[in-house]
Structure 1
Amino acid sequence: MTLAEAPSRPVAPPLKIMRQYELVDRVRSYNPQADEDLLNRAYVYAMQAHGQQKRASGDPFFTHPLAVAAILTDLKLDDATIVAAVLHDTIEDTASTREDIDRLFGADIGALVDGLTKIKKLDLVSKRAKQAENFRKLLLAIADDVRVLLVKLADRLHNMRTLKFMPFNKGERIAEETLDIYAPLAGRMGMHGMREELEDLAFGYLMPDARTAILNRLHAMRERLGPLISTIEAELQARLGEAGLTADVKGREKQAYSIWRKMEQKSLAFEQLSDIFAFRVIVETTADCYRVLGMIHTEWPTVPGRFKDYVSTPKPNDYRSIHTTVVGPGKQRVELQIRTRTMHSVAENGIAAHALYKDGRTLDMDEVASESHAYRWLRRTVAMLAENESPEEFLEHTKLELFHDQVFCFTPKGRLIALPQGATPIDFAYAVHTNLGNTAVGAKVNGLAVPLVSRLKNGDEVEIARAEGQVPPAAWENLVMTGKARASIRRATRNAVRSQYAGLGRQIVVRAFERAGKPFGDDKLKAALPRLARLAVDDVMAAVGRGEMFSGDVVKAVYPDFTDERRAGASPDKADGGWFGLRQAENLQFKVPEGTGPTSTIPIRGLGGSLPVRFAPNGGAVPGDRIIGILAPGEGITIYPIQSPALTAFDEQPERWLDVRWDIDADRKELFPAQIAVQAVNEPGSLAAVATAIGDLGGNIEDIRMTSRSRDFRDLVIDLGVWDLKQLNAILSQLRALSTVSGVERVNG
């Protein structure tokens, strides 16, 4: 079909009930060994089962499964798939059961029909959580046997062709589901022709005005460029013939939905698109593809950056073709796709082009997978279900994989890695292996060191530097493009946080047993897990670390006769200082010079340590302070200096108080948060003098807030980073010595 003959809209064939013999003839036209009896029995059974049922259009319902079967015969599928298409609505819409189908047509066909019945019940455009779980079920249903997907796609295609008879609200849901799920799935399975028709039908239903506007622009462009297109076709054909190459040259017009999507995504006007018209050159052999390429590149200048060889490096959906753009006849940019007839069949029909039967026998799905990269992708995707992802994460991952075009990169050993456009070395690392991504610390692209967030291009060779013990930063999740990378980063981050809480919880539990005077061991705790409603020791430790479980309850679960005096008796007299007073005394006893503290205290090493630690807001804490830890549910430990008045808020919550001590490496200069309040004279240079005094002593100003107390004075609240209490006191002394400072004190929030 030439561009001038292209229809303005896909038109459904006129209604005609396919006869029994016609169905058999269609199958035997490509499979002479077809089981005629099986096909006939399925036809008669489905016709009788559906009886007088009608479709929304008023047509006999039986016309629908026959139309689905006809679509699949065009794809030359095996007998079982055709029979499953004829029977696919019997379990759902008639009195037939799975047992009936198994008994009459065999378990293989019964499984196909049952899988299709389950898919029909799934709502893929419902609220996100339910949609995610249903999409998961959809992929599970098609992973074991891709023929379920092929029948479902044909079923959806016929339903889309007749969607105008549906009530709009139901039709809208079907069209959205088609555009979001089924059309991308068809594309990911390499079924380009079916994907384009599904997209066009859904686009026309959901956005008829936009589709009409684009078709009108296409028609006007076709009218204007028609003679030039014919000239280019004829000249290409002639030049190839002169070179002794047998080839078919055909014009190709970009589909309306693809044009609209590109205009939306890239904010382009219709006139700015350069690939609306292109030409396909179809030859006999792979060698001919490269001969055509050589002739064309010799004859006409190429457009830089517009060459892609998907023959030597096929796309993950098995698409193979050479793409190039040249400045051709009439100085026009001409986009060309060069492929063999076999490649063209796979490009249009995808996985359906891989014969499902050979030598009179049906291939099992492992054999199909060995021929189809697309089906292997589907199985790998479904294998992720075993990695305990949430349905929402699984949906996000799969949609990311469905909707992106690919770039192709290589490992140093030459392994090909397909990634979405815009992918980074982080995505590359996770595509090679999850552990490589989790431990990645650097990357080289084509031998040059690059940031891990660099965008990769086709043909890049990527080498990943790694460090054991590395945990991927949570911020990476917003930088990567692949669903696998995002899911792996989330999982690693969750595991790291859980490990921190479990480590903190273990220290709290061990300390609780020491205080109770009871021996502790994991074996003792394992025996008590049912009483704590946890499955593993680490679950208990993480719950304690997160503040979801009190350490005294763990002791009591192991030793039921244990009584925690802090929870059993009345609170100490507030006049004597309450729990705060007791904790002060206890803390003074335990907070001795570094390295000499008891083992029952928890060591604090700063924000970068292995425990989930933060410092008190509005004041902080620095090494040298006597400190108390407060356990906040889900937040870890908050460290307060012992003089902080904020601690009185926790007087009635003794189970949240923790004995902590500093454990600082003297050789590692790490800054800790402190806050000071300065009263400065309001004159030029006073703020500069304060900043200089702090900087001269090595302090770092992290934030500063200024308010006017009077025309003569300004109040400054300064957040500092300092090494320890000695440095902080030196800064306070230096500030007090300034003539522009009338007062300074440390803030203890």
Structure 2
Amino acid sequence: MVAIDVEKEKKEIINHYRKLLRKAKPVLKDSDAKLIKKAFTIAAEAHKDMRRKSGEPYILHPLAVAEICVEEIGLGTTSILAALMHDVVEDSDMELADIEKIFGKKVARIIDGLTKIAGVFEYGTSQQAENFRKMLFTLSEDVRVILIKLADRLHNMRTLESMPRNKQLKISSETIYLYAPLAHRLGLNAIKTELEDLYLRFTDRPIYNSIASKIDDTRATRNKFIKGFMQPIVEELNKQNIRCEVKGRPKSIYSIWNKMKRQNIPFEEVYDLFAIRVIIDAPQEQEKALCWQVYSIVTDFYTPNPDRLRDWISTPKSNGYESLHTTVMAKNGQWVEVQIRTERMDDIAEKGYAAHWKYKESSGINESNLEKWLARVRDTLEHNDHTALDFVDDFRGNLFTEEVFAFTPKGELKTLPSGATALDFAYEIHSQIGSKCIGAKINNRLVPISHVLKNGDQVEILTSSKQKPNEDWLRFVVSSKAKGHIKDSLKEEKKQSAHEGKEIIMRKLKQLKVEASQDTLEHMREYFNAKTHFDLYYRVGRNIIGTADIKRFTEFKPTSPFRAKPPAQLTDAKLIEKEITALKNRYEDMLLIGEDMDVVDYKLAKCCTPIPGDEVFGFVTVNEGIKIHRTNCPNSAELMANHGNRVVKAKWTSQHEVAFLTGLKIKGTDRVGLINGVTKVISEELKVNMSSMSIHTDTGIFEGEIMLYVNDTRHLEHLIAKLEQVEGVVKVSRFDSKETEPREL
């Protein structure tokens, strides 16, 4: 055991506390330092015997969160107090009422929003989703809850190295699924980028390290190129007395990886590896004119791509982002993105919401797109009584999407998520107009409710008093506001149908002289394979189960009053781990795939077809035992973010005798005998069995998909290397299935 130097630790804690005070000095008022000292003392006492997984004193965590709030987000004293005490209620006997007495209602409310929900959650719900929803409900009162939570998450991600592997995967997945999109939506670009990069680092370290080293290797060449590219522009800006700063910054590791994956290209083919940012020193009233003046200078020297001009100065993004983007052709034939913005815009782009408020107070500007988005979120929260998982799904769907701008007949601008339809627009105006919508006129042309809007469309909604929402409408909308109102309407209709169904069952049982006891109704639910009594009543009310079916049920004579219930399923990762440990009679809570077949039933997920050598995890499903997924599976983030309690650690044992199905994509130039060459390598040379093969050729280019059986990742890499040597083959890569996990997990 490592000896702890108490005095050294005390000094370290005091140093961190003083550093926090130094950073906070510009925002502190009269008695703020005393309040911060009091909060620090309370937190230090509450956490005095606690340590983090890394071994350091726990109090260093709230101190670091408070520092991120001040330095990286730009928050003030109230947030510092809440950040210092954000875990006090969970970790000590202190209650919210005590905090309210000392620090007031605001601080107590923020801490309440940051405190996790206690208690046991029934199976099929998600503790993570419930906590996320609770935190978001405080958004209607104080957005600082979310900002502090993002600071907390950022510090947890920065110190994730010391956590066990399954915790790293769970926390990283929550981060990419919920917190990075939320940081993006609140305009915290620097935090969003770091969270994404840290996610990749902890879920796919080889990819992360590979891209990071390649960015480092190209740094000197990149800096030299940027200097040469900007020289004539800077000289002209100086001539015209425009004060500015020029920065060249590479794309984030995560966004490069995303592009490589999306376009199926290597690092070397990502052409926009970096962007050049021109930050102008300009008074607010001259910002727009000066930005366009700089754009004019840039395009005087370099030819712009007309399809790549983005004007977020005239119409800022809904997260408050303002900038002018253009992509121009450099003298060496390389496309370069140039971002033009002012110091104020750059501050808002990096620090988001807090910076936005700083400038709003000083300039008295009207309601921004960010505030409009927050108002829409509040509206969604107020009208939402769905399950936490459905809520998180809807909410997330509106976080990362781009916007589309459309106008009412009177010229009022409405901002909607990209992909929004005429029906979304109708619900954006009012829920009553949405529920009565039968179509729309877009730019004076009649269109159906499912018509997807484009920027600049002018939309007139057509309604009918006889119209009402139906299940199909959920396929036509993308905004959480529209989805929420449609689901509410359908729920009311379902309640009515279920009420009618229950009355029909009671009447029919009475008619057939069968007692309508609880046992009879339970037996009936099982007979018709309904999940709940409500589901049974609803199906009867909608005539899916008819009166003749009910009569058949009463004539059915089971061997016992009820069918035997299946044995209780292991539905939690901890129970699975205990089962494995008990059966193997050793301290091993990890599923060793290939060795534990007789211990716990598992299947390989079709969505990512894992093979030996892949980093994997087990996921406990409702009906199919454990499914094994790759950690970089397309579905892994959602599964681990919403159901972390059902994740089981897993790894492969040596498996040379078993073959696993996986898929390869092949691209190249078409020639006579090419397919023969490919199949020869696979079947004859390497003795690999193929499951299926499809080849498509078009004007001399061929693309193919081959499903084949391999032993492990080394076997697969060897096969890819051999195929790439076949004449005409340009690229061979592994691909994931298009399948996703069903909603009922």
Q: Same fold (TM over 0.5)?
A: yes
CA drift of 1:93 comes to: 2.1
Cα RMSD, aligned residues only: 3.9
Q: In 2, distance between residues paired with 1:197 and 1:123?
A: 33
Aligned residue for 2:102? 104
SS at match of 2:116: helix
> Cα distance, 1:205 vs. partner?
0.7
Aligned partner of 1:633 in structure 2 is: 540
CA contact (8 A) 2:276 2:336 kept: yes
Over 3 Å counting, the alpha-carbon distance change for 1:15 and 1:185 in structure 2 is farther
Provide the rounded CA distance (Å) in 2 between the counterparts of 1:166 and 1:137.
Answer: 26
- Displacement of 1:271: 5.0
Q: State the distance in 1 between where 2:390 and 2:248 align.
A: 41
Whole-Å separation in 1 of the counterparts to 2:354 and 2:120: 26
Asked if the contact 2:499/2:541 (under 8 Å) is kept, the reply is no
Q: 1:101 is aligned with what amino acid? A: I
Task: Please say if residues 315 and 418 of structure 1, whose CA atoms lie closer than 8 Å, have aligned partners that are also in contact.
Answer: no
User: Counterpart amino acid of 2:203?
Assistant: L
Q: Compared with structure 1, are the counterparts of its residues 441 and 305 closer, same or farther at alpha carbon in structure 2 (3 Å cutoff)?
A: farther
**Runs ≥4 residues deviating over 6 A:** 122-126, 356-359, 367-370, 637-640, 646-653
Corresponding residue number in structure 1 for 2:610: none
Shift in CA distance, 163/453, structure 1 to aligned 2, threshold 3 Å: same
Say whether the 8 Å CA contact 1:78–1:356 is kept in structure 2: no
Query: How do 1:532-571 residues align onto structure 2 when only pairs under 5 Å count?
Result: 540-541=499-500, 543-544=502-503, 547-550=504-507, 567=513
Pick the aligned partner of 2:204 from 179, 202, 207. Answer: 207
2:188 is matched with 191
Question: Retained in 2: the 8 A contact 1:278–1:335?
Answer: yes
Of the candidates 485, 489, 506, which is equivalent to residue 488 of structure 1? Answer: 485
- Determine the C-alpha separation between the residues in 2 that align with 1:188 and 1:421: 14
1:340 shift after superposition: 1.4
**152, 160, 163: which one pairs with 2:160?**
163
How many equivalent residue pairs?
Answer: 516
d(CA) in 2 for partners of 1:224, 1:358: 41
**Which among 22, 40, 44 is matched to residue 43 of structure 1?**
40
Q: Deviations over 1:302-350 (max 9, x none)?
A: 2122122212211111111122222344443221222111111111111
C-alpha displacement at 1:648, in angstroms?
13
- Give the structure 1 partner of residue 691 of structure 2: none
Matches within 5 A, 1:172-321: 172-222=169-219, 224-265=221-262, 267=264, 269-270=266-267, 273-283=270-280, 284-285=282-283, 286=287, 287-321=289-323
Q: In structure 1, list runs of 5 or more residues that go unmatched.
A: 1-13, 502-538, 554-563, 570-630, 641-645, 654-749
What displacement does 1:232 show? Answer: 1.5
Amino acid at match of 1:295: I
Instruction: Kindly provide the amino acid, as one letter, of the partner of residue 180 in structure 2.
Output: A
Q: Matched residues, percent identical?
A: 37
1:207: how far off? 1.5
**Relative CO higher for 1 or 2, CA cutoff 8 Å, sep ≥ 6?**
2
In structure 2, the CA distance between the partners of 1:305 and 1:467, relative to structure 1 (3 Å rule), is farther
Using the size of structure 2 for normalisation, the TM-score is 0.61
Q: Is 1:478 aligned to residue 483 of structure 2?
A: no
The 2-side partners of 1:424 and 1:93 are apart by 47
Q: 2:583 corresponds to which residue?
A: none
1:403 match: 400
**Counterparts of 2:364 and 2:174, CA distance in 1:** 27
> Following the alignment from structure 1 to structure 2, what is the Cα–Cα distance between the partners of residues 477 and 423?
12
Q: 1:21: how far off?
A: 4.3
Q: How far, CA to CA, are the matches of 2:109 and 2:151 in structure 1?
A: 18
CA contact (8 A) 1:393 1:487 kept: no
CA distance in 2, matches of 1:415, 1:378: 19
Distance in 1 between the 2:89 and 2:188 partners?
28
Cα distance in structure 1, aligned partners of 2:205 and 2:410: 50
- CA positional deviation for 1:72: 1.6
Distance 1:79 1:542, change over 3 A: same
- Evaluate the alpha carbon distance shift between residue 379 and residue 452 of structure 1 in structure 2; reply closer, same or farther with a 3 A threshold: closer
Q: Look up the equivalent residue of 2:187 and give its one-letter code.
A: G
Q: Shift of the alpha carbon at 1:20? A: 4.7
Give the direction of change, closer, same or farther, for the CA distance of 1:250–1:16 in structure 2 (3 Å limit). Answer: farther
Deviations 1:151-180 (CA, angstroms, capped at 9, x unpaired)? 221111111111111122222222211121
The alpha carbon displacement at 1:183 in A equals 1.5
Q: Distance in 1 between matches of 2:355 and 2:116?
A: 26
How much does 1:191 deviate? 1.0
Instruction: Provide the residue aligned with 1:85 in structure 2.
Output: 83
Structure 1 222/428 Cα, relative in aligned 2: closer, same or farther at 3 Å? farther
1:65 corresponds to which residue? Answer: 62
Equivalent residues in 2 for 1:107-118 (5 A)? 107-118=105-116
- What corresponds to 1:383 in structure 2? 379
* 3-state SS, counterpart of residue 135 of structure 1: helix
Cα shift readout 1:359-405 (whole Å, capped 9, x = no counterpart): 9xxx9xxx999866435534532433443531233222101011212
What is the match of residue 341 of structure 1? 343
Q: Secondary structure at the match of 1:18?
A: helix
1:247 CA displacement: 1.7
Q: Which amino acid aligns with 1:635?
A: R
| Match of residue 614 from structure 1 | none
Query: Residues 472 and 239 from structure 1, CA distance in 2 versus in 1: closer, same or farther, beyond 3 angstroms?
Result: farther
The one-character-per-residue Cα deviations of 1:432-487 (angstroms, maximum 9, x if unpaired) are 33333333333343344445444333333333333332234533322433233333
Change (3 A) 1:633 1:44: closer
Structure 2, gaps ≥5 residues long? 1-10, 516-537, 556-745
